[in-house]
């Protein structure tokens, strides 16, 4: 790193931090004005709102706009350099264009790695704080339930040949009635168990069924056994019996990978939402590098419009990036669009634009 590299790198980091702090403060002020009634109804103290809401909301907000803030920051300080003819002087001094861009790429890779680490471990914990507050104090009238008692029916595949049904599951007591399990082989039921009542045994880490009737079917022969109580080893735990619409945001990347593998083994359908989230955690940091290249190739040109023209381009491009990302996500979660392509499509298209701008940039 030479003096010029440190100069550009310092401008990059300072502008990025200033921009993200400014936008975060504005977003917090607007969000506070919208949720004042919810804060008052929650009965929490000022410090309680900070720790139980904004400790989650601010990291969530930053992660959502991180690539766009990098893009805007690059355009802002690079256009100022171009307006002061600094980029012209750098190139006129015989410094290759690719060499001038090196500190930009160094900063972009550093920020991309930071975002990748945060997406994997930090942001999910923040999302847990944020979503828990929303579910308890804001989404009270929604179908989401973060805990407590509630009547819910479940029917799902616990493994490749076992199907489990539960009626009226109580998330607080971890118990339910109307339990049954069917095991199928060659499209025929060979095992069936029904119980009037089932609850989670914390000590044994298993489900304890009461008044159970167990049937083993072998062709035309059937063996019936009655149990007053029986422990069941089922690939299912109480945490999985919570229809948490925020689950994909709460899980760290290793936990999300494990969850997807487990659900795929069970044959669970509708995992596109989780797959898109997984692939996006890897795609978003790459978008930081792509948008940085786009920003420097556009803003390094000295134009009569000055930085205003560059900022207009940056805002329009950022809006297009967000719209494209949302559209691809919806097509994947609601349709049959491949999750990996949905997560990477904005990067692919904007990478093509970045390559074109790179080749046509005045060097």
* Claim to verify: residue 158 and residue 132 sit in the same structural domain: no
- Measured CA to CA, the distance from residue 302 to residue 309 in angstroms comes to 10
Domain co-membership, 163 together with 135: no
106 & 52 share domain:
yes
Distance CA 48, CA 178 (A): 40
pLDDT per residue as tens digits for the range 205-229:
999 999 999 999 988 899 999 999 9
- Assess whether pLDDT exceeds 70 at residue 328: yes
CA distance 208 to 229: 7
The pLDDT of 324-337, averaged and rounded, is 83
Would you say residue 126 lies in a domain? yes
Examine the fold and report which residue of 226, 243, 260 is the final residue of a domain before the chain moves on: 243
Residue 257 lies in a domain: no
Lowest-confidence region among 63-77, 118-132, 307-321: 307-321
Q: What is the mean pLDDT of the chain?
A: 88
Number of domains in the chain: 2
Please check whether residue 337 lies inside any domain of the structure. Answer: yes
177 and 116 co-located in one domain: no
Q: CA 43, CA 55: separation in Å to the nearest integer?
A: 18
Do 137 and 15 fall within a single domain?
Answer: yes
Question: Would you say residue 249 lies in a domain?
Answer: no
Q: For residue 57, is pLDDT > 90?
A: yes
User: Do 187 and 108 belong to one domain?
Assistant: no
Q: 313: how many CB neighbours lie within 10 A of its CB?
A: 17
How far is residue 59's CA from residue 53's CA, in Å, rounded to a whole number?
Answer: 11
Domain assignment present for residue 66? The answer is: yes
How confident is the model over 174-203, as pLDDT tens digits? 888 889 999 998 889 999 999 999 999 989
pLDDT category of residue 349 using cuts at 50, 70 and 90: very high
pLDDT of residue 219: 85
Residues 6 or more apart whose CB falls under 8 angstroms from that of 71 comprise 291, 292, 294, 295, 314, 317, 318
Q: 141, 128, 205: which is closest to 174 by C-alpha?
A: 205
What's the pLDDT at 65? 92
Domain termination residue (choose one: 203, 227, 243): 243
Q: Considering only CA atoms, give the Rg of the chain.
A: 27
- Percentage of the chain surpassing pLDDT 70? 94
pLDDT confidence band for 246 (50 / 70 / 90): confident
Residues 135, 282: one domain?
A: yes
Give residue 140's pLDDT. 60
Q: What's the pLDDT tens digit per position in 92-149?
A: 888 999 999 999 999 999 999 999 999 999 999 999 999 889 878 877 644 444 444 4
Residue 271: pLDDT band with limits 50, 70, 90:
confident
Q: Please report the pLDDT score of residue 138 as a whole number.
A: 79
- Domain of 225 in residue numbering reads as 154-243
49 and 87 fall within a common domain: yes
Give me the pLDDT at residue 305, please: 61
Same domain flag for 173 and 133: no
Weakest-pLDDT range from 30-34, 160-164, 211-215:
160-164
Q: Which of 197, 227, 243 is the last residue of a domain?
A: 243
Based on the fold, state whether residues 11 and 127 are members of the same structural domain. yes
175-185 sheet: strands from edge to edge: 154-157, 162-170, 175-185, 188-201, 206-218, 221-232
Q: Residue 36: inside a domain, yes or no? A: yes
The reply to whether 342 falls in a domain is yes
**pLDDT value of residue 242:** 66
Residues 69 and 117 in one domain: yes
CB proximity list for 123: less than 8 A, separation 6 or greater: 59, 60, 63
Establish if 248 belongs to a structural domain. no
Same domain, 135 and 212: no
């Amino acid at each position: 790193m030479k003096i010029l590299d440190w100069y550009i790198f310092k401008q990059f980091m300072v502008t990025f931090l200033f921009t993200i702090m400014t936008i975060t403060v504005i977003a917090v002020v607007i969000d506070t004005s919208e949720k004042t009634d919810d804060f008052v109804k929650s009965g929490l103290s000022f410090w309680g709102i900070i720790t139980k809401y904004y400790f989650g909301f601010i990291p969530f907000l930053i992660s959502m706009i991180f690539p766009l803030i990098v893009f805007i920051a690059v355009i802002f300080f690079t256009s100022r350099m171009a307006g002061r003819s600094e980029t012209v002087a750098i190139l006129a001094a015989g410094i290759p264009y690719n060499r001038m861009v090196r500190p930009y790429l160094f900063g972009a890779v550093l920020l991309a790695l930071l975002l990748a680490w945060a997406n994997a471990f930090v942001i999910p914990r923040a999302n847990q704080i944020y979503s828990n507050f929303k579910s308890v104090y804001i989404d009270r009238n929604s179908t989401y339930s973060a805990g407590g008692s509630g009547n819910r029916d479940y029917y799902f595949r616990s493994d490749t040949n076992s199907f489990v049904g539960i009626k009226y599951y109580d998330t607080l007591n971890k118990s339910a009635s109307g339990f049954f399990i069917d095991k199928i082989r060659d499209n025929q039921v060979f095992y069936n168990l029904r119980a009037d009542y089932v609850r989670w045994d914390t000590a044994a880490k298993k489900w304890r069924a009461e008044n159970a009737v167990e049937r083993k079917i072998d062709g035309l022969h059937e063996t019936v056994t009655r149990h007053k109580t029986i422990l069941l080893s089922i690939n299912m735990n109480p945490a999985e019996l919570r229809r948490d619409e925020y689950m994909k945001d709460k899980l760290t990347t290793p936990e999300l990978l494990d969850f997807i593998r487990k659900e795929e083994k069970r044959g669970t359908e509708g995992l596109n939402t989780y797959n898109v989230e997984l692939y996006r955690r890897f795609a978003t940091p790459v978008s930081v590098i792509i948008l940085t290249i786009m920003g420097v190739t556009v803003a390094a040109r000295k134009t009569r419009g000055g930085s205003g023209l560059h900022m207009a381009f940056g805002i329009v491009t950022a809006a297009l990036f967000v719209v494209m990302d949302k559209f691809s996500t919806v097509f994947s979660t609601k349709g049959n669009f491949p999750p990996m392509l949905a997560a990477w499509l904005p990067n692919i298209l904007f990478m093509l634009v970045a390559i074109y701008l790179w080749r046509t940039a005045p060097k």
